Amino acid sequence: MNRAAQPIGVFDSGIGGLSVLQALRAELPCERFVYLADSGNAPYGDARGDAFVCARTHAITRYLREQHQIKALVVACNTATAAAIHEVRSSQPDLPAVGLEPALKPAAALSKTGRIGVIGTRGTLTSDKFSRLLASLAGQAQFVVQPCDGLARAIEHSAALPLPNDPCATETRALCARYISAMGPFGTEAGQIDTLVLGCTHYVFVADELRSLVGPQVRLIETGQAVARQTRRLLHKDSLLAPEDSATEATPFIRLLTTGAIEPLQAAAKRWLKLPPGCCGTVAIP
């Protein structure tokens, strides 16, 4: 197969990376995608150490290269990016790789009060990579950093039970309220947090809940669109963009895989990406 026609691999510890896939599809409508949710080991950020996350990242990258011949990799997981993307780039220099990091720089540029909230998994927010990013912005803004233990897991579980009164949705709302309350006042007045960075891909799917808690004037910033634009830039640089005439009226080739139960992925794909259950499958990756 012509390398430009090969798919882009996208992976996350679970279904949260579907928010990044959504942005990639909008930015790159002619591309083919293989998405892998490591839901059998999710979430990475709350309880998994760097060694485990690195091992999973390498194993999944090998699988996507060997079984799906991907031409580029998007690590749609803040925790895996922080722990392992430097190793992936070092060990596989011929594979364009795009990672995520909480959007602190754009937030600092946009904030009027100079006070910015950052929510993410504990694994992301305690990583060396995040510490370096935070230090690089010293003096540009005040960052209120809040680990949200359990929130990614609750969102993951609620995908298969979307009814408003299901236990996971109730838990998700309670966790959002707890962590937002712990951060201090939100608003546009001096001393208030006027910008909230969503430092986990899962959190995009509870943006409405977060918005109801922080108020309509507070900016919510996520990274999906920026990642999609960077992916386009790297593919263009390496002459790997799929030809525009490869687009058809049919749905572009998209394969969604999971190492966990298939039902949550199918429900999330239908709910958030309008994709049929037949796009989904299961896989075992030692």
Tell me which long-range contacts 122-126 makes (C-beta under 8 A, separation of at least 24): 122/45, 122/46, 122/147, 122/149, 123/44, 123/45, 123/46, 123/48, 123/50, 123/53, 123/79, 123/82, 123/83, 124/45, 124/78, 124/79, 124/82, 124/199, 124/200, 125/199
| pLDDT at position 206 over 50 | yes
Q: How far apart are CA 33 and CA 241, in angstroms?
A: 13
Strand partners, 255: 34
Confidence of residue 175 (pLDDT cuts 50, 70, 90): very high
pLDDT tens-digit map of 26-37: 999 999 999 999
Percent of the chain exceeding pLDDT 70 equals 93
Q: Do 3-100+224-282 and 104-221 come out as alike in CATH topology?
A: yes
pLDDT score for 214? 97
pLDDT score for 47? 65
Active site positions, annotated: 77, 200
DSSP 8-class letter at 218: S
pLDDT tens-digit map of 95-131: 999 999 899 999 999 999 999 999 999 988 998 989 9
Residue in 245, 212, 273 with CA at minimum distance from that of residue 17: 273
Residue in 116, 147, 130 with CA at minimum distance from that of residue 50: 130
- How far lies 192's CA from each of 115, 138, 183, 211, in Å? 6, 18, 10, 15
Q: How far apart are CA 108 and CA 129, in angstroms?
A: 18
pTM above 0.75, yes or no: yes
Ranges of each domain in the chain: 3-100+224-282, 104-221
Question: What mean pLDDT do residues 56-67 have?
Answer: 97
pLDDT tens-digit map of 209-261: 999 999 999 999 999 999 999 999 999 999 999 987 665 544 458 999 999 99
Confidence of residue 157 (pLDDT cuts 50, 70, 90): confident
Burial 133-169 (b: 16+ CB within 10 A, else e): beeeeeeebebebbbbebbbbbbbbbbbeeeeeeebb
End-to-end CA distance of the chain: 27
According to DSSP, the β-strands at 219-221 and 195-198 are: parallel
Q: 275 or 247: which carries more pLDDT confidence?
A: 275
In the chain, how long is the greatest CA-to-CA distance? 57
pLDDT score for 153? 87
Asked if 84 and 54 touch (Cβ cutoff 8 Å), the reply is yes
| pLDDT at position 8 over 50 | yes
Fold of 3-100+224-282: Rossmann fold (3.40.50)
Q: How far apart are CA 116 and CA 112, in angstroms?
A: 10
Instruction: Classify residue 31 as left (phi > 0), alpha (psi -120 to 50) or beta.
Output: beta
pLDDT score for 244? 77
How is domain 104-221 classified at the architecture level of CATH? 3-Layer(aba) Sandwich (3.40)
Burial 175-188 (b: 16+ CB within 10 A, else e): bbeebbeebeebee
